[in-house]
Amino acid sequence: MIVFLLGPTGVGKSEVALRLAAEDKGAILSLDSMQVYRGLDIGTGKPTAAEQARIPHGGLDLFSWRDQADVARYVEAAAAFIEKSRGRPLYVVGGTGLYFRALTQGLSEAPPAPLALRAELAALRLAELTARLRSLDPGQEKEASFDWQNPRRVQRALEVLVATGVPLREWQKKKPTSPLLPPGTFRAFLLRRERDELRERIALRVEKMVAEGWIDEVRRLLDEGGPGSLADCAAIGYSLLAGWLERGGSPVALPAVRQEIVDATRQYAKRQLTWFRRESNVETLMIPPFKSSDETAWRVRAALQVPSC
């Protein structure tokens, strides 16, 4: 049985997965659309090199940080890792609802965009992409789970709309390809915490990432990609820190930038919860206040002993 540990950023999914996989001699497949990028490490909460050496991980570092990720290629990589991990307990961990749906319900048949159109849209800034999408498809605003801050998601929606005349959300309602993990092959748990505790955990998470060298990571990426190369980075915080560095990196201004990152992360966590609450094949597991990853892992094990409804 494959076990999904889903939930918003900061809820503690990764720590629980590491604990369970260590006890079971299992493996972990990342379900995170930002951890697929090489070079985006600290700010995406990617498992450390030591953690990856201790426990087999999949779904990481599939694309250059300057490229556009592709859900179909993620599913291909996930399929290969699942096959490689056969015989081991497997924990699929993350908060990207689109990847969860792709693995368990199949991919929509929306066609790839013409290369010329993709190149044209890739040259636009996020503000230009969102303005164009809103103009061409006002109905997209009603999609509560759509991530308007993710330039790659906005670009993909615009690509499909311009190329086919049909909104991406309509393509996604059509009969998908066969899922990699059909019903009966997995259990999926949505880990949740009380709102105030999650908000505090997110603030502490951002503070910890900065302390662990996130700013230096962003500086290295700017050295590699050049000025403005992170302006439309979809991973929360990278464009904000890059902009701060390019403005001189004043220590006085850093607390305000950090708070912007915290606020953006909290908003993203709300969108993640909105998505997963709409998934009928996900069981909610509420974590009591201030429980450790060890106690949460025990709760997951206890839940697995109870047949799913």
The set of residues, in sequence order, having a beta carbon less than 8 Å from that of 297 and lying 6+ positions away, is 16, 19, 20, 23
Residue 25 inside a domain? The answer is: yes
DSSP summary character for residue 141 = G
Verify that 152 and 234 share a domain, yes or no: no
Verify that 66 and 81 share a domain, yes or no: yes
Residue 160 inside a domain? The answer is: yes
Confidence at 175, pLDDT banded by 50, 70, 90: low
Reply yes or no on whether the pLDDT at 309 is more than 60.
Answer: no
Sign (positive/negative) of CA torsion 177, 183, 187, 188?
A: positive
Residue 220 inside a domain? The answer is: yes
> At which of 136, 152, 171 does a domain end?
171
What is the CATH number for 27? 3.40.50.300
pLDDT digits (tens, 9 = 90+) for 54-94: 999 999 999 999 988 888 899 999 999 999 999 999 999 99
Residue 231 inside a domain? The answer is: yes
Q: Are 8 and 93 in contact (CB under 8 A)?
A: no
Residue 216 inside a domain? The answer is: yes
Q: Which two tokens stand for residue 304?
A: 């697995």
Domain residues for the domain of 235 are: 2-107+176-304
| CA 180 – CA 24 distance, rounded (Å) | 23
Residue 190 inside a domain? The answer is: yes
CA 100 from chain center: how many Å? 10
For the chain, the straight-line distance linking the first and the last C-alpha, in angstroms and rounded, comes to: 16
Verify that 194 and 261 share a domain, yes or no: yes
Verify that 191 and 267 share a domain, yes or no: yes
Q: Among 167, 154, 197, 186, which Cα is nearest to 68's?
A: 154
DSSP summary character for residue 44 = G
Quote the number of domains for the chain: 2
What average pLDDT does the structure give for the chain? Answer: 92
Concatenated DSSP letters for 168-209? HHHHTTS--PPPSS-TTSEEEEEEE--HHHHHHHHHHHHHHH
Verify that 156 and 300 share a domain, yes or no: no
Verify that 165 and 223 share a domain, yes or no: no
| CA 232 – CA 25 distance, rounded (Å) | 39
Verify that 185 and 242 share a domain, yes or no: yes
pLDDT digits (tens, 9 = 90+) for 264-302: 999 999 999 999 998 989 999 999 887 788 889 999 999
Residue 309 inside a domain? The answer is: no
Return the half-sphere exposure (C-beta side, CA atoms, 13 A cut-off) of residue 301: 14
Verify that 197 and 78 share a domain, yes or no: yes
Verify that 93 and 230 share a domain, yes or no: yes
Residue 214 inside a domain? The answer is: yes
